[in-house]
Structure 1
Amino acid sequence: MTARHRIAVIAGDGIGQEVVPAAVRCLDAVAERHDIAFDWHHLDWGSDHYRAHGRMMPVDGLDILAGHDAIFLGAVGVPDIPDVHTLWGLLIPIRRAFAQYINLRPVRTLPGVPSPVFSRDPIDLVIVRENNEGEYSEVGGRVYQGSADEIAIQESVFTRRGVERVARYAAALAAGRRGHLTSATKSNGIVHTMPFWDEVVRDVLADFPDVTARQELVDALAASLVLHPERYDVIVASNLFGDILSDLAGAVAGSIGCAPSANLNPPGEHPSMFEPVHGSAPDIAGQGIANPIGQIWSGAMMLDALGHAAAAAQLITAFEAALASGTRTRDIGGTATTAEVAAAVVAHLGPS
C-alpha cells in the first residue's frame, strides 16, 4: 500500500528557488522506489510575497501549514529587506507555532569533499540546538531611539521545561550513537542562564548512566571543533550557541552548502520543518550553481521523520555516491551545476 504524505513546499528566497526543485526531483525518485507518494503543495511565500503584500506569508499561513505532514523549506532572506521582517515573518513563527523545539543538525565527512582543516579521523557528529527559546526571545525593546542615550535591551529566556526536553533528546540520541554528549555553556561569564542550563542538563543526565557527558565553554568548544572535530559525537546547545556551532562545524566538514537541518516537533503533534543551513546566498542566486546537497540531505531527514528510514538511507547513499564520483558544485571543488548534481543523485538511486 502506497504511503502518501502532504508536504508544504516553501522555496523562499535566493538559491532556495534552485535547490528546492532539485531536491524535490530526488525525493520523488527515491519515493517511487519505496512505494511512497508525495503531494507537494507549493507556496510562493517569502520576500517577493512581502514586497507584494507587506507580509512574508498570508495571515492564515500557519493554519495552512498545519494541514500538512511536513514543511520543506528552502531559504529565507534578501539584502534589501531587514531580517527582522524576513526571518521573524516566516521561519521563526513556524518554529514556534508548531513547537519545533529541536533543531537537529548532523555534520559529517562526505566522500570527495575536502575539509579545510586537518582531521585524522572522519567527522561524524550531531548538534542538537534548542530551537524555541534561549537567546532568541522576543522580550526586550529600545528606548530613546535616535538619541545619544538610546538603549537596546534583549532578554534571554531559559525555562526548565525547555532545557530538560532538549537535553533529554540529545542524551537519548547519544545513547544510540557512540555514547558521548558535550554540553555547550558559558557559565564562567553568563551568571544566571548558563549555570541554570548546566544544572538542568546534569539533572537530566542522571537518567542516562551509559552516556559519557562533559560541559565545555563555548569559546573553547569552537576552537576544539576546528582543531579536533573528530572527537565529538553529540553536542547539545542553546539557541544561539547551537546556531553558531553548527555553521562552524558544517564549514569544517567541507561546506555549509552540504549542511542539513530538521526543526522537529518530537511528539508529532504538529508538522516538522526541514531546511538546509546555508541560507539564501544572494551572491550566487540565479546562476544555477548552488549546492543542493544540504537541501537533499534535509529531504532525507524528512523521509526518516515520516517513518521511511530505508528510503532516507538510500537517498543519502545516492548523494554520497554522486559526490564520490566527482559530481560536485564549485563550493566543494567541482564544476557541476545544481541540476547536474540532482541528476547524478537520481542516477545513483538505481533502477526504479
Structure 2
Amino acid sequence: MESKVVVPVEGKKITLQNGKLNVPENPIIPFIEGDGIGVDVTPAMLKVVDAAVEKAYKGERKISWMEIYTGEKSTQVYGQDVWLPAETLDLIRDYRVAIKGPLTTPVGGGIRSLNVALRQELDLYVCLRPVRYYQGTPSPVKHPELTDMVIFRENSEDIYAGIEWKADSADAEKVIKFLREEMGVKKIRFPEHCGIGIKPCSEEGTKRLVRAAIEYAITNDRDSVTLVHKGNIMKFTEGAFKDWGYQLARDEFGGELIDGGPWLKIKNPNTGKEIVVKDVIADAFLQQILLRPAEYDVIACMNLNGDYIPMPWRLRLAVSVLHRVRISATNARCLKRLTGLRRNMRARIKSTQAPLFCLRR
C-alpha cells in the first residue's frame, strides 16, 4: 500500500541505545492532529513547542514534525472505516516518540476506543502522569503548592482491557453458565439479562509497572513510591498487585522491612537517600491527596484506579496541568495533551491555553 505520510526531508529518527532514547539535534516527531478541538489545539501546540525549543537551544536544535493519521482524519486519508491504519502504528514504533490530540470513538461499531487501541497495539503499558502546581494557576483549595506527584498507571490490564460481553448475548450466557456450574460461583445476584466482564491482573504486568515507578523514583531522587489498590475487597487482583509490588521491591531493589512491614525502604544507589515503598487503599488515598498531598510522591496503580486518581486533583489544580505520556517496553512513547473536550466546546475555549500548560514539565 502506498504511503500516505510525508516524511520530512530534514530530520533524523530517535533511536534506542542500551535501553535509552538517543535524540538527535533535529528529531522527526510524528503527531496526530486529533478530532474535535484537535484542529484548534494541535497547531497551537506545535508553535508553542517550536518556540520553547528555540528559546532553550538558541537554534541549535529543531523538531521536524511529521503528521500521521488516526480518527476521523484517517478515514478521509485512507478510506472509510480506516480509523487506525497500520502505517500509523508502524511509524510510531519506528520513530519512537509521538504526540496526539483527542480522538473520537467510532459510533455504531468498529474500534470501541481509539485511545485503548493505541495502548494495546503499541503495548503502552505505562501511563506516566506528572501532577504539580504551577504558580498563578487558580485553585479552590489552600496550599496547592504541596502537590507534586507522578502517577504510574498500568495501561494494559484491569477491567479496561475490554474483556466483556453484552447482556443476553450467547457469549455472556456461556460465561455465566460456566462460572455458576463449573466454578461454583454464587455471587452473581441477577444472572439473567446480565452483562459480564473480566478483570485480568498478572504478576508480569504488575512488576514491570512497579519496576518503572521505582526506577523513576531512583533516577529523579524522589522520596517514596505508593502502591494504590483495593486489595481489601478484590484480594486476588488488586491485593495481588500490592503483594507483587512489594515482592519486586524486595527482590530487585533490596527493599528492607520498616518496623516489621509491609512498608519497605530502598537505598537510592545514586544519592544514598532512603526511598519508602508503601501502600494505601484507593478510597483513603483519594481523600488523603486532598488533605495531605505532601505525603505522596510517586504513585503506582492499576488501570481503573489510575483513571480515578486525577479527578480530586481537578479540585486542587486546574485541569490543564494533568498531562500524560504513555510508554512501552521498547520505550515507544505517545504523549497526550488535554482530553475530554468535544467538538461543540471548540468555540468556548481559548485554544492556545491547553498546549501552554500541558507541555510544561
Return the TM-score normalized by structure 2.
0.72
3-state SS, counterpart of residue 48 of structure 2: helix
Give the RMSD, CA atoms, in angstroms.
2.9
Q: Residues of 1 paired with 2:205 and 2:338: CA distance?
A: 23
For residues 179-210 of structure 1, the C-alpha deviation after alignment (integer angstroms, 9 at most, x for no partner) is 21211110111131012111101112222423
Per the TM alignment, residue 157 of structure 1 is displaced from its structure 2 partner at its CA by: 1.2
2:302 counterpart of 1:241? no
Alignment of 1:80-95 (within 5 A): 81=107, 88=113, 90-95=114-119
The aligned amino acid for 1:177 is D
The aligned amino acid for 1:61 is T
Per the TM alignment, residue 69 of structure 1 is displaced from its structure 2 partner at its CA by: 3.3
Identity of aligned residues (%): 22
Q: Residues of 2 paired with 1:291 and 1:225: CA distance?
A: 30
Report the count of equivalent residues. Answer: 294
2:352 counterpart of 1:276? no
Q: Residues of 1 paired with 2:74 and 2:315: CA distance?
A: 35
3-state SS, counterpart of residue 195 of structure 2: strand
For residues 230-259 of structure 1, the C-alpha deviation after alignment (integer angstroms, 9 at most, x for no partner) is 32211111011112102432x134221221
Which range moved further: 101-110 or 40-49? Answer: 40-49
For residues 245-292 of structure 1, the C-alpha deviation after alignment (integer angstroms, 9 at most, x for no partner) is 02432x134221221100012543xx3100125333444224452464
3-state SS, counterpart of residue 211 of structure 1: strand
Q: Residues of 2 paired with 1:64 and 1:170: CA distance?
A: 27
Partner of 1:219: 283
Per the TM alignment, residue 172 of structure 1 is displaced from its structure 2 partner at its CA by: 2.3
Per the TM alignment, residue 73 of structure 1 is displaced from its structure 2 partner at its CA by: 0.6
3-state SS, counterpart of residue 346 of structure 2: coil
The aligned amino acid for 2:99 is F
2:64 counterpart of 1:55? no
Q: Residues of 1 paired with 2:63 and 2:145: CA distance?
A: 38
Q: Quick one: structure 1 residues 106 and 253, their matched pair in 2 at CA, closer, same or farther if it must change by over 3 Å?
A: farther
1:201 corresponds to which of 245, 248, 273: 245
The aligned amino acid for 1:165 is R
Q: Residues of 2 paired with 1:87 and 1:36: CA distance?
A: 39
Q: Quick one: structure 1 residues 240 and 291, their matched pair in 2 at CA, closer, same or farther if it must change by over 3 Å?
A: farther
Return 5+ residue gaps in structure 2 as ranges.
Answer: 1-10, 12-23, 174-190, 256-265, 267-273
1:188 corresponds to which of 222, 232, 244: 232
Q: Residues of 1 paired with 2:68 and 2:275: CA distance?
A: 42
Q: Residues of 2 paired with 1:228 and 1:200: CA distance?
A: 26
Partner of 2:215: 172
Structure 1 segments (4+ residues) deviating >6 Å: none
Alignment of 1:129-168 (within 5 A): 129-145=153-169, 149-168=192-211
3-state SS, counterpart of residue 159 of structure 2: coil
Return the TM-score normalized by structure 1.
0.74
